[in-house]
Structures are given as C-alpha cells and as structure tokens.
Amino acid sequence: MENQVDLLLRHLDEHLLVEMTKELVRIPSYEGIKEQETKTAEHIRMLFEREGIDAYLDEVADGRCNVYAGLSGTGGGKTLMLSGHMDTVSPDNHPGGLAPHVEGGVLVGRGVADMKGALACMIGAMGALKRSGTRLAGDVLFVGAIDEEMKSLGTIDALEKGHRADGVIIGEPTELQVHLAQRGLEWYEFTFTGKTVHGGRQRQGINAIDKARKFMNAVLEELSPKVFERKHPLLVESTLNVAVIRGGTGLSTVPGLCKLYIDRRYLPGEAYEQVGLEFQSIIDKLAAEDPEFKCVMKPDESAACKPGYLHVPFETPKGDPIVISARKAAKAVLGFDAEPEAHPAWTDAALFSVYGKIPAIIMGPGAAAVCHSDYEYVPVEQLTGACLEYMLTALNFCV
C-alpha cells in the first residue's frame, strides 16, 4: 500500500512550481505600481480556484488587496497558516527582472526568493494535498499579504480582521531550514541644530556637524559596547549601526543642520522603550554639558509600521508543535536534522507571533543573502523541497 509521503510526491509537480513562480514574477508588484499587489492577488486566487480551493480577495488600502484561501479539515485538528508577502523591491538593475528564466538549475528573477517562489510552493502544497485526497483533521489556511517591504499593512490587516491559526509558517528564504527567532528593528533619526554663518565668521556660528560628531562618539564609545555585550543563543547579539550622516551645504558655510541615522537591532527581552531611552540619555547628558547642543530624536518614518505596531523581535520555543512538525518535515527533505536557527532580517513572523499570539516559524526556498540583490535566484530543487516541507508539516501538525 502506498504511504502518505509517496502519495504526496506523486502529486508534486516541479515543472508546475517553476511555471507558477515565473507567472507570479512576471506580474509587477513593487512600489509605484497602481494597486501594487492586486494583480498578483488576482492571479493567486485563480491558481487556487484552478485547484478547486476556495479563495478570495480583501481590500486593505487604496485598491491593494490581500488574498486568502483555505483547505478545510475533517475537524478537531490544529490549524496551520501558510503566509507570505506579494510585494517585491524594484527590479532595477536585475538581469532577470520581470523576465524570469532557468539557468544552471536555478530560477532567476526579481522576487523568486523574496518571496514569490515560496508563494508558489504554498499554493502547490495545498493543491497537491487536495488532488491527493489527503484529509487532515485541521485546516490549512493561506494568507498572501501586501506591503511587507514597507509598513506590513497586509499582515496587520489580517490580524485586525481576526485571521488566526495554531501555527504559522512565513515563507521567507531559509534554504529550507527552520528559523524560529529574529531581532527587533528600529531606525532612528537624530536632527542636530546649530547656527549657519559664512565660513569666514566661523566662531559666530554653531557647527551642527560637530555636535553630531560629539553624539556619535558618545554612542560608539559608551553605548555600543554595552549593546554588543547583550547575547542570545540563536540571535548571537544585539546590534547598533551608525548608518548615515547628512549635513552641510557648502565649503564656505558653517552647517546649521545635520542629520544622523542609526539602525538598532534588539533582542527578545530588550524593551523597545529602553532602547530609545538609552539614546535619549546621551542626548540629555550632552545638552547638560553644552548649552549649544540641540538634538531631537525620532523613529525614522521609512521603517515605521502602521501606528500602534512596532518591528518587534520574536522567538518561538523549540518545543512548540509548529517547530517540532516543521523540523520533522525539514529532516525528511534535507536528509538531516538541522538545529533551528535565527533569521537575519526582520519579517512579518514577529507580527503574527507578538500581536497575533500565533507560534511562528520562517521556512522557505532560497537564501536571504540574494534578496534585494542585482542577481536574485532560487535553486529549482529548493522549490520542490519547500513544497514538500509545507505538505509534510501540515501532515505532522494538523492532527
């Protein structure tokens, strides 16, 4: 008698996965496109309906729609959610761009790894489960979300409208391994105000760049070492990066304005409020020492979520059923039992975990290192592997 894995493998079509990924990549969904992700959402709905799986679109903002689908179980089992974002960064300078192609066993194109390949694998997994006649006790749900590259409006909207599950897989690229933690993220803007005068009257001005230098030195000498001392078994350490400085208008002018930007990645257990207070305490100290020191700190808008939400960290315990189920699936596909890892970038997994109270993991085809790069690709065999991992996780989890 054919076992369940062999049955699912018979209904897993690598050619179909590649073609679905290509179809999704050809549909532009980057910032600047009208109703940015909606054509992608409409195509995903069509792919599900072709498999006989109910799917629908739901507007989030300005004609931009999430897409939802579901495969009902027989009842009584845990519900698994498969989720990924439909937006991509711009295809500028990418040789594949919106014309995806296979070369040397890899599929090349903007969004194949981040993360239209994973979307195709999720659709393929649910379709194969349906075609194979597999009946799970629990439901398998799909959420295709808008706006992850910006403010995560899609995932937040899904949570605010009550979409829930017992576990969720985010299909960001992990090379098929299980990632169960990520750092929180905040970008801060520091504005230093001085007094602009002609360079020939330098002593009558206040050099804003010099004030920024004093602050930057204090951050790097006093705060940064403390930040990097904070450790985590998976995430390694907390981080602080002085990333951008802008100031001055010309060589003959004392600059009256300077802006400094810092990227702060913080660990589970570090309070967001305390992260900001550490910078503010340095500002207050320098202002007390120097009456001409004027600095205003605020979160940088380019990294802001919807008001009321933050780019928080998360960590799912190794003993959670979603982790156990996914590790078992990954072992079957990879051939070895890899220890769970931390994800290097921020993903919507944290929103599901912290705000939705849904145990979350990250698992998908491709490597994080190629995301947003001039040469984004995913190995074709990893598309097949991810699709099988999603099916096997559902078999292990939806009981």
Domain count, the chain: 2
Domain boundary among 303, 336, 355: 303
Please name the residues in contact with 35: beta carbons below 8 A apart, sequence gap of 6 or more. 62, 63, 64, 65
Q: Both 358 and 346 in a single domain?
A: yes
Q: Both 172 and 84 in a single domain?
A: yes
Residue 14 lies in a domain: yes
The chain-wide mean pLDDT, for the chain, equals 96
Q: What pLDDT, in 10s, does the model give residues 82-99?
A: 999 999 999 988 877 899
Q: Both 168 and 195 in a single domain?
A: no
Q: Which two tokens stand for residue 245?
A: 């400085």
Q: Both 157 and 207 in a single domain?
A: no
Residue 308 lies in a domain: no
Question: Could you tell me the CA-to-CA distances from 377 to 114, 115, 206, 267, 345 in Å, in that order?
Answer: 9, 10, 50, 30, 18
pLDDT of 164 over the 90 cut: yes
Please name the residues in contact with 41: beta carbons below 8 A apart, sequence gap of 6 or more. 57, 65, 66, 67, 86, 144, 146
Q: What pLDDT, in 10s, does the model give residues 353-370?
A: 999 999 999 999 999 999
Q: What pLDDT, in 10s, does the model give residues 321-357?
A: 999 999 999 999 999 999 999 999 999 999 999 999 9
CA distance linking residue 296 with residue 372, whole number of Å: 32
Q: Indicate which CATH number applies to the domain containing 218.
A: 3.30.70.360
Q: Both 16 and 82 in a single domain?
A: yes
pTM above 0.85, yes or no: yes
Q: Both 129 and 188 in a single domain?
A: no
Q: What pLDDT, in 10s, does the model give residues 8-59?
A: 888 999 999 999 999 999 999 999 999 999 999 999 999 999 999 999 999 9
Domain that holds residue 97: 4-182+313-397
CA distance linking residue 356 with residue 32, whole number of Å: 29
Domain boundary among 279, 303, 327: 303
Q: Both 262 and 210 in a single domain?
A: yes
